[in-house]
Structure 1
Amino acid sequence: MKNKFRILKILITVIIFGFLLSFSLKRFNDKPMEKVTVKLTQTKNRVYFIDEKDVKDLVKKSNPTKRVGDINIPELEKKLNQLPAVDSANVYLNLNGNLNLDIKQRVPAFRLNKDDRDFYVDEKGVEFPTSKNYSFPCMLVMGNVKKSEYVKLAELVSKIDRDDFSKKYFIGIAKKNGNYELLTSEGYFKVEIGDLEKIDLKVKGFKAFVEKFLIFQDPEKYNKVSVKYENQIVTTLNPNFKENDSIISVGKKELAKLPVINQKKEEAQKKALTPQRVEAKKETRKEKPKVTEVKKKATIKPKSEESKPKVTPRKEIVKPKVVEKKPAVTPKKVESKPKAKVKIE
């Protein structure tokens, strides 16, 4: 009997508790939504892409009856998370019937100008559009940047923002022909870094170049400073700077003297010649020695046309010398004969 009484007592309390709970839930659901609280979570850099008024208008559209029971909290969270400038959203109700919305906004890492479009990218590599009412001050990036490079590019921008030296010099990033260039506040030269690997080492190399060398030079003297090569800094002179005109002209003259360049020029000229011109030149070169041979043969034949060309000019020169000696011998013999005749008489 005692056990039955206990079971009956438990059932009665459960029924009474359920009745009271259903009554309170019904009363709570019929209660009007008195207050909507929008809490924007603070970040390192404050942003104002989302307006509280816009969020409250979204809540009103999702619950036109303004009854607590008609609010679909999961659906409202989904709509808030679909907003491009929202990183995360949390929606919950108090016992008083107040609706609370905790929203965390996206913080841009940089602003990208790509394919005639302008948008923000956060540190997670997520794109979201710019706002008409608010503009966040961040690094401007230009060029055909791939989505796979967003995270590394965001890390580069954060490193520049944390370093006072880099933040003072670099105001933008541009990608040209697969190489990244840092735009300087001076506006006279660019810093070429190549890819996004070993960024710390490249920035340190440029910092050393500025502190030990560039500080004593005119910034207008250079057009580009490249630190993309390991343990090397390559500078390009500005041709529009007056002091560089003489240096550039002298360098061109010295390069023109190099035999390698001259050989390349000759090869280029040979390639530019057509095959017909090459054959014409070869024929002219072959004809020149034939003309000289004919002239030599004409000099060899001074006396007779029937003599053969085999006789060399040296042999013909020797023969007239022998002929000249014979008349010198004959007059001596002729003079001795009359003397003998005179003695006989």
Structure 2
Amino acid sequence: MKLAFVLDRLDSIKIEKDSSFAMMREAASRNHQLFVMQQGDLVWKDNRVTGFCHELILLDPIEEKYRWYQEGAAEAIPLQEFDAVLMRKDPPFDIEYVYSTYLLEFAERQGAFIVNSPRSIRDHNEKIAITEFPQFIPPTLITRQESLIRSFLEMHQDIVLKPLDGMGGASVFRVHRADHNISVILEMLTHYGTRTIMAQRFLPDISKGDKRILLIAGEPAPYALARKPKPGETRGNLAAGGIGTVQRLSERDLEIAKTIGPLLDKRGLLLVGLDVIGDFLTEINVTSPTGMQEIAKQTGFNVAGMMVDALEKRIHSRQ
């Protein structure tokens, strides 16, 4: 197969934990041909969507941190000539990201197979998407109105506030009823009432970990990566210093995954990361879910292999 990955700069990728690298390594082990491009390499030209791509050769053994690959010369290749194009650009989900999804969606109409579906990526804000499944979520408020947020805080006493376009735990605040900084926090997060944010009741089970459950073709991997906050912190995100511990899915985890997975798969979301704290769904990650390498290292379960299996099956079904 001929696979293209839309990524951040290769020299910025942390290969010891990056899920895109795990997928590329697995695909290369099966003799699939790899190409890479950045977001800015996607262009509309001559009535089709083209990627200015580089063929990628993974080095074995890896020579050093930034010498794990060789790149070929840039080639202009229409996206429909690949067996699959995997959109793995990390957030922020800004206007440039939206423009990329428009280009990828047009390539899809020309016959390209894009993972994940660009329209579904646009339609599933990673915070707001949970509202489709109210039976699984904690008490949640989405608003830009300070009075409503203050009333929500008064009701629940201890809440978490977060922007709708953040990642890695950035700008996430835990606020208590007696917090003297609530006004300035709300001013900053809502930009004085001009930006919508999310408020959720604080979940004490965060101390046991913010579980990342990976869904592949609608089915959950059997293990979750529980990201536990470091001392003095309430965010479990690895980017915020959380410690990742792998555990088997609980009955509740499976209930959530088995309910949501098939529906998202039908929408073209082949790879999804659910965030679950205790028994509650808190986010649905559809841009570039990670956690594959941590699960593989701690359990031996090859999540990247599960992903490439699903990718091969979908490609063959299209032929």
Same fold flag (TM > 0.5): no
Structure with more contact order per residue of length (Cα contacts < 8 Å, sep ≥ 6): 2
> Which TM-score band (shorter chain)?
under 0.3
Q: What TM-score do you get using the length of structure 1 for normalisation?
A: 0.18
TM-score by length of 2: 0.19
Higher strand share: 2
